Chains A and B, each alone.
Chain A
Amino acid sequence: MTVIAAPDMTVAAEPAPAGAPDHEHEQKPRDILIICYSGELEKIWAAMILATTGVAMGAKVRVFLTFWGLQAFVKDEVRITGDNTMQKMMSFMQRPGISHRKLSKMNFLGMGPWMMYKLAKQYNSARPKELLEAAQAMGVEFMPCQMTMEMFGLKREDMIDGLGDPVGAATVIGLMQGGDAPLFI
């Protein structure tokens, strides 16, 4: 993160204003920070669309995976997660993995997501899983939430490949303070 120079510095150093427009010319896009909090299909979908588009637009994109959002980044084939009964029960009731997301409205025991995927295919829209793969290939950084990992008893081997090191809220706030455009999804 860059520290913005104090305003009086430009007064002290005369050549500074001449150099300043150069930086403006090469206007660096703002970094984007997506806080992926919700685990529902439509919200994970939106997060993946914005992540891929952000990186395609030349921005550095980071996605913080927390609470229900983190569940979507467990490997699709992993069924039960956690160490204790309660954690195992939670993963049993709500299957983790990006391909097993439920809709927040009109889920109808899976009929809703099935129809959404059918429509997506008909209209050639990329599914969240495809978008996730594109995002990873293009360098979107995924940061799992350490606290959520522990609370749900998730292990690194439960999670998809290519995730960054688990971090905490301070990292997220620090990025926002550094000027990242935040999105809470």
Chain B
Amino acid sequence: MSTEPIAQIVDAKGLSCPMPIVKTAQAAKSLTSGQLLEVLATDAGSTKDFAAWAKATGNELVEQTVEGGVYRFVLRKK
């Protein structure tokens, strides 16, 4: 677990494709480089989708955990 402060949290729980990614991209726009963004999602496809999103956009996927069906992603803005 990282101890760095999270700048913004996106609650995408319950939303299905493509809204978790769309909401994340929208939220990432308002962050400055280096800030952390936390995303919570329940869409089972999001594990692969967030890795793909990070790779495509150059933002770093810092952490990825799953607990009780909730996927948690911590991303660092490029």
**Chain A positions near chain B (C-beta within 8 angstroms):** 29, 49, 52-53, 55-59, 123-126, 131, 134, 137-138
Contact B25 A56 (CB under 8 A): yes
- B residues neighboring A (CB under 8 Å): 14-19, 21-22, 24-26, 52-53, 56-58
- Are A56 and B16 neighbours in the complex by a CB distance under 8 Å? no
Establish whether residues B16 and A52, one from each chain, have CB atoms under 8 Å apart when the complex forms.
no
In the bound complex, residues from chain B placing their C-beta under 8 Å from that of A137 are: 26
Provide 12 A-B residue pairs closer than 8 Å at the C-beta atoms, listed in order of the A residue. Answer: A49-B17, A56-B22, A57-B25, A58-B56, A58-B57, A58-B58, A124-B14, A124-B15, A125-B19, A126-B15, A138-B22, A138-B26
Residues of the A chain whose Cβ atoms lie less than 8 Å from the Cβ of B24? 56
- Known pairs A53-B18, A123-B16; list 17 more (Cβ under 8 Å): A29-B56, A53-B17, A56-B22, A56-B53, A57-B21, A57-B52, A57-B56, A57-B57, A59-B56, A124-B14, A124-B16, A125-B19, A126-B15, A126-B18, A126-B22, A137-B26, A138-B25
- Closest A-chain residue to B24, C-beta based? A56
What's the Cα separation between A178 and B3 when bound, in Å?
45
Q: Which residues of A contact B56 (CB under 8 A)?
A: 29, 57-59
A123 closest partner in B (C-beta): B16
Q: Which chain B residues border A57 with CB–CB below 8 Å?
A: 21, 25, 52-53, 56-57
The answer to whether B25 and A55 touch across the interface, beta carbons within 8 angstroms, is yes
Nearest CB in chain B: distance from A48 CB, A: 9
